[in-house]
Structure 1
Amino acid sequence: MTSDILLETRGVTQRFGGLVANSDVSISIKRGEILGLIGPNGAGKSTLFAAISGARVPTSGSILFEGVDITQMPAAERCRLGIARTFQVPRSFDSMSVAENVMIGAFVRNSNATRARAAALEVLDYVGLDGRADATAGQLTPPEKRRLEVARAIATEPKLLLLDEVLTGLTPSEARLGMDLVRKVRARGITVVMVEHVMEIVMQLVDRAIVLNLGKLLAEGSPADIVRNEDVITAYLGDRHRAA
């Protein structure tokens, strides 16, 4: 029987000299959920993303994906297993076309260029960038570049998608479209973990939230529980939120 836990971290600690960016972090990510990873700046969110995606090997602890220990596994191999991510600052190949950028992701599952392009065009249609397929990535607006990042990640056919602030800095209408896209991604059967700072967006979108503070797990639970948690209000949301 398949476990409902897709990924878990067990006591993950990440040290950079004397700085402890993650300290004994143990979390579970359930299949099919949209999970919010929140907390103040410097809480260790991006460091945990790096550990899960394979950009960094934790100093101690372990990471299991579908029950397999991937702690020492390179990022490319994790991608083939089904873990994909976006970056806080979009990393596009600006001189290449939008379709070619997405083909880079599609090549993970399609060694044939014709099939990779067909897969890329399907994903571009899915994220609403089909009309920009032949434009260079450098011609895209900032919101379009964020969608391109998501498209390239989806083209790898992930089971788990890590979204790093894909909705930050958008106008209200752009953010609504971004939220719709995240829901569509989940409807595609992809589990989503997202780092975001705009609480009004996060609390409408996620099924569950995990709060980090000073590298440690502070709280986890439903959005309703999190916004009423006194420790979270003190460390992250602030007195203004308590008054509201």
Structure 2
Amino acid sequence: MTEIILEAERVTLRFGGLVANADVSLAVRRGEILGLIGPNGAGKSTLFNLISGTYRPTSGRILLEGQDITGLPAPERCRRGIARTFQVPRSFDSMNVVENVIVGGFVRHPRAAEARAAALATLDVVGLAHRADAVAGELTPPEKRRLEVARALATEPRLLLLDEVLTGLTPSEAKAGVELIRRVAERGVTVIMVEHVMEVVMPLVDRAVVLHLGRVLAEGRPADVVRDEAVIAAYLGERRRAA
């Protein structure tokens, strides 16, 4: 049986009377690409915030490689091997591209020269080496998404959370993004990805977890999930049933 790298056990997060996640339980296997899907407001990004340490759950717990990390802050979780991107790319726009990635490299390489070398190697992986000296604020939207991935990879994560990195891309850009995610997984990084582009994400992921109204609605192989009646009713709709 494949080793479990991350577990969420009955995780609930309340904001006053609003329940953002309710009794969410899932297990992520080392080396897999897990798709986290669902309609807007389903609680996907909230769950990412709980896993990465931005939020602390109201109840339940989160374990990384069997160790309870529920009470750990985000920087410590990063040091332990969890990295993430954001729906809206965040960069230090006045710094150049390699400097942005060096920020992530400092997590593992406290010396500037070592962090820079790691950053340049990471830019090569994501296809931005030719833009290393460009000012980050001048990048195109697809390049900014790759910069986010590069900065996260520079922390040398074991678990990478990708929040809609393929959203808003052209078909050719999305194809390149899929190839990048596969390369990341081939390097031994476990990936959880939130995505709305079903046609792109379903052939890519090993398993899918569907959230609806903050709860797990279904999980399993992509081919099984898209045929689940509850998923069709809540998310895909009758047009997708016909397809």
**Normalized against structure 1, the TM-score is what?**
0.99
Per-residue CA distance 1:121-172 (angstroms, 9 max, x = gap): 0000111000000011001000000000000000000000000000000000
> Aligned equivalents of 2:163 and 2:200: distance in 1?
14
> Aligned equivalents of 2:87 and 2:216: distance in 1?
22
> Aligned equivalents of 1:199 and 1:48: distance in 2?
19
2:63 matched residue in structure 1: 64
**Normalized against structure 2, the TM-score is what?**
0.99
> Aligned equivalents of 2:87 and 2:16: distance in 1?
24
Give the counterpart letter for 1:17 in structure 2.
Answer: G
2:14 matched residue in structure 1: 15
Q: Which runs of 4+ in 1 moved over 2 A?
A: none
Give the counterpart letter for 1:215 in structure 2.
Answer: G
2:38 matched residue in structure 1: 39
Per-residue CA distance 1:191-233 (angstroms, 9 max, x = gap): 0000000000111100000000000010000010011000000
For the aligned residue pairs, the C-alpha RMSD in angstroms reads: 0.9
> Aligned equivalents of 1:66 and 1:235: distance in 2?
33
> Aligned equivalents of 1:50 and 1:91: distance in 2?
15
Q: Is there any run of 5+ residues in structure 1 with no aligned partner, and where?
A: none
Per-residue CA distance 1:36-88 (angstroms, 9 max, x = gap): 00001110001100000000001100000000000010000000000000000
Q: 1:147-226 residue pairs with structure 2 within 5 A?
A: 147-226=146-225
Per-residue CA distance 1:4-45 (angstroms, 9 max, x = gap): 100000010000111000000000000000000000111000
> Aligned equivalents of 1:131 and 1:52: distance in 2?
33
2:112 matched residue in structure 1: 113
1:3 CA displacement:
6.5
> Aligned equivalents of 2:103 and 2:78: distance in 1?
12
Q: Is there any run of 5+ residues in structure 2 with no aligned partner, and where?
A: none
1:243 CA displacement:
1.3
> Aligned equivalents of 1:124 and 1:223: distance in 2?
31
2:77 matched residue in structure 1: 78
Identity of aligned residues (%): 72
> Aligned equivalents of 2:123 and 2:138: distance in 1?
16
Give the number of aligned pairs: 243
> Aligned equivalents of 1:6 and 1:235: distance in 2?
29
> Aligned equivalents of 2:241 and 2:96: distance in 1?
48
2:227 matched residue in structure 1: 228
> Aligned equivalents of 1:135 and 1:215: distance in 2?
40
